[in-house]
Amino acid sequence: MMWRQERGYMVEGILSRVAEKLSVVLIQQPGLLNEIEEEANWIYLRMSYWVSSHLAFKGYMEPLRDIAYDVEDVVDDFLLKPAAKRRRRGGILKKLKQIRVNIYDKIRFYPESLIRTEPVEDQNIANTVVSPVIEKVIALLGKGLLRPQVKKKARRILDEFKFMNGFLEDVESVELDENGMAWMEELCNVSCYAVDVIDSISGREQFRMRGAFRRVVTGFNKLRSQLRLGAEMDQINARILVLSKGKPKEVIRHGQSREQGSERRFLQRQVPPPDDVDNPDMVSFEDDVHEIVARLPTDDKCFFIISIVGVKGIGKTTLTKLVHENDMVVDHFPYRARLSVGSWDLGFVKDILEQMGCNKSIPTLWKDDKNCRIKAEKEDEKEEDESELLSCLNAFLQDKKYLIILDVRHGPVYLEDLLRRLPDTSNGSRMILTSRPTSLHSDLPNKSLHLTLQLRDDNESWALFRHTLKVSMPPELLDFQREIVRICGGLPLAIKNLADVLSKNDTTIEAWSSVLQQLNRDQEFWSETLTEINNSLPLHMKRCLFYFRLFPQNFEIPGRRLILLWVAEGLVHPMEEKEAPEAVAERYLTKLIGQCMVQVTKKKLDGRVQACCLPDPIRRHWLLKAKEATFLQGHKKPRSSEIYLGTGMVHRLADHLDKGDDSFNQIHGYHNTSSISLQSQYQDTTSFLSFDTREGSKPGEDIGNFLDRCISNRCLLLLRVLDLELVYKPKLPEALELLRHLRYLGLRWTKLDMLPSSVGKLLNLQTLDVKHTDIRTLPNSIWSMQQLRNLYLSENYCSMPQPSSNSLTTLQTLWGLLVNLRKLGLAFCLLGSQQEAMLSQVDAVADWVLKLNHLQSLRLKSYDEKNQPWDMDLKPLSSHANLSNVYLLGQLKNPSIVSEFAHSLTDLTLSWSGLEEDPMQTLDKLPKLRVLRLLRRAYVGKNMLCSSGGFPELQVLKLWMLEQLEEWNVEKGALLVLRDLEVRSCIKLDMLPEELQHRTFLKLEFI
Which pLDDT score is estimated for 188? 72
Distance (Å) of CA 691 to CA 551, 566, 652, 747, 754: 8, 18, 14, 12, 21
3-state secondary structure of 280: coil
Burial 250-283 (b: 16+ CB within 10 A, else e): bbbeebeeebbebbeebbeeeebeebbbeebbee
SS3 labels along 101-159: HHHHHHCCCCCCCCCCCCCCCCCCCCCCCCHHHHHHHHHHHHCCCCCHHHHHHHHHHHH
Strand partners, 885: 857, 907
| Three-point CA angle 326, 332, 338, nearest 5° | 55
3-state secondary structure of 505: coil
Dihedral angle over CA of 767, 771, 777, 783, nearest 10: 20
Q: Give the number of other CB atoms < 10 A from CB of residue 476.
A: 11
Contact 733, 761 (CB under 8 A): no
Which pLDDT score is estimated for 903? 93
Report the chain's C-alpha Rg in angstroms.
Answer: 34
Same fold, 282-452 and 527-629: no
What is the distance between the alpha carbons of residues 560 and 541, in angstroms, rounded to a whole number? Answer: 18
What is the distance between the alpha carbons of residues 531 and 116, in angstroms, rounded to a whole number? Answer: 9
Burial class from Cβ neighbours inside 10 Å (0-12, 13-18, 19+) for residue 105 reads exposed
Any idea where the domains of the chain sit in the sequence? Answer: 1-118, 122-264, 282-452, 458-522, 527-629, 906-1007
Say which CATH class 282-452 falls into. alpha beta
Question: What are the 10-residue block averages of pLDDT along the chain, 1007 residues in total?
Answer: 68 76 70 62 71 65 82 75 55 78 66 34 43 78 76 84 70 60 72 76 50 42 71 86 75 43 30 41 77 82 88 90 90 90 68 81 46 43 68 87 85 67 84 79 67 90 90 90 91 91 92 85 75 79 89 93 95 81 92 92 87 91 63 44 65 91 85 74 92 94 95 94 97 94 96 90 91 85 80 67 40 45 74 64 78 85 83 87 93 91 95 96 95 96 94 95 95 91 93 87 84
Instruction: List Cβ neighbours of 302 (8 Å cut-off, separation of 6 or more).
Output: 426, 447
Which pLDDT score is estimated for 177? 64
Closest CA to 631 of 142, 95, 1007, 105: 142
Which pLDDT score is estimated for 650? 86
Which pLDDT score is estimated for 762? 92
pTM: 0.72
Residue 872 DSSP symbol: E
Contact 151, 229 (CB under 8 A): no
Q: What are the DSSP calls for 398-415, one per residue?
A: TT--EEEEEEE-SS---H
Handedness of CA 6, 8, 14, 17 (dihedral sign): negative
Please name the fold of domain 527-629: Arc Repressor Mutant, subunit A (1.10.10)
What is the distance between the alpha carbons of residues 526 and 528, in angstroms, rounded to a whole number? Answer: 6
Contact 687, 721 (CB under 8 A): yes
Contact 710, 688 (CB under 8 A): no
